[in-house]
Chains A and B, each alone.
Chain A
Amino acid sequence: MKPTVAQQIGMKQQQFERLFAKYQRVVYCGVYSVTGNTPDAEDAMQSLFLKLIDQGFSEDSVRDPAGYLFRAGANEARQMHRAQERRSRNHTDDEVGLLRDPATDRNRGAEAMRERLLEAMDRLDPEQADILLLSVERGYSDAEIADLLGKTRGAVAMALHRAKERLKGLMCDEPKWGENQ
């Protein structure tokens, strides 16, 4: 007999709870490294897990579920982030926390640098950004990234080098008039 909709969702929910418990940290690290703030990171995390439930994702279907989900989280955050106007964002909880910080003046420079880095990362090719994040945030080796993305180790090393060079260029760019209005 065909299961009811409620039974189907119940089955999915059990699988989801197991998946969530196992990979929530890695997904959160992926989304947070793109958004840099808690509310957006939580929204992206929620959106990704709901998609995984809808798709009936199984960790057995991929070779490196942690790497796959880290990358999926970063992609989800990137998509959501691009849909928003970063400049028109209201103060987030993180920013409010920063304003309360007695070392605000010192932090402002660091915060500006972080924003600049995030904006430059946002302008990278998505695959370059993924390779960079997997390397820097997750500490993956070129060989591990190559395995995850189905590329050769040499191609990954070259992409990583190019990503860093491009990032340098983007971070040194003067913003064009009206670009960040």
Chain B
Amino acid sequence: MKPNDMDIDEILKRYLPRATPEEADAAGERVLKRIRHILAGSQRAGRAGQADVPNHGIRARNARRGKSGSGAPRGSPGRFCIKDSEEGFTGRLLPMR
């Protein structure tokens, strides 16, 4: 298709993603729960006497990437730990046995 043949207003009207109010409300509810959870964690950390407010951005990113839970991250080939090998302590990540 050539640019001159294209009705860009029609394309924008038809194909630009638009959320319905219901979708927005459902997503808002899920996001609100996640943020409340993060803020509650910050408050607990604050009460425990940490000097600085924890970095919400890092917590949010880690929560998204599934790093804040327990167990191996998704897609990991297995669980690893730092331990001594036959060569002595190397500090490298080795498969857990």
Name A residues whose Cβ lies closer than 8 Å to a Cβ of B. Answer: 4-6, 8-10, 12-13, 16, 20, 24-25, 28-29, 32-33, 35-38, 41-43, 45-47, 49-51, 53-54, 110, 113-114, 117-118, 132-133, 136-137, 164-165, 167-169, 171-172
Contacts and interface: CB of A to CB of B under 8 A. Distances in A.
Nearest to B12: A136
Interface in B1-49: 1-3, 6, 8-9, 11-19, 21, 23-25, 27-28, 30-32, 34-36, 38-39, 42-43, 46-47
Contacts of B9: 164
Contacts of A9: 39, 42-43, 46, 53
B3 A24 contact: no
A12 B39 CA distance: 10
Interface of B: 1-3, 6, 8-9, 11-19, 21, 23-25, 27-28, 30-32, 34-36, 38-39, 42-43, 46-47, 50, 52-53, 56-57, 60, 64
A123 to B, nearest CB: 15
A168 B6 contact: yes
Interface of B: prevailing SS: helix
A29 B19 contact: yes
Given A42-B30, A46-B34, A136-B13, A28 B6 contact: no
25 contacts: A5-B52, A5-B53, A6-B43, A8-B53, A10-B43, A20-B35, A29-B18, A29-B19, A29-B24, A32-B17, A33-B19, A41-B27, A45-B28, A50-B35, A51-B57, A53-B39, A54-B57, A114-B15, A114-B16, A133-B16, A136-B16, A137-B18, A172-B2, A172-B3, A172-B6
B28 A25 contact: yes
Contact of A50 (B2, B15, B38, B50): B38
Interface of A: prevailing SS: helix
Contacts of A53: 35, 39, 56
A106 to B, nearest CB: 14
A20 B16 contact: no
A13 B40 CA distance: 10
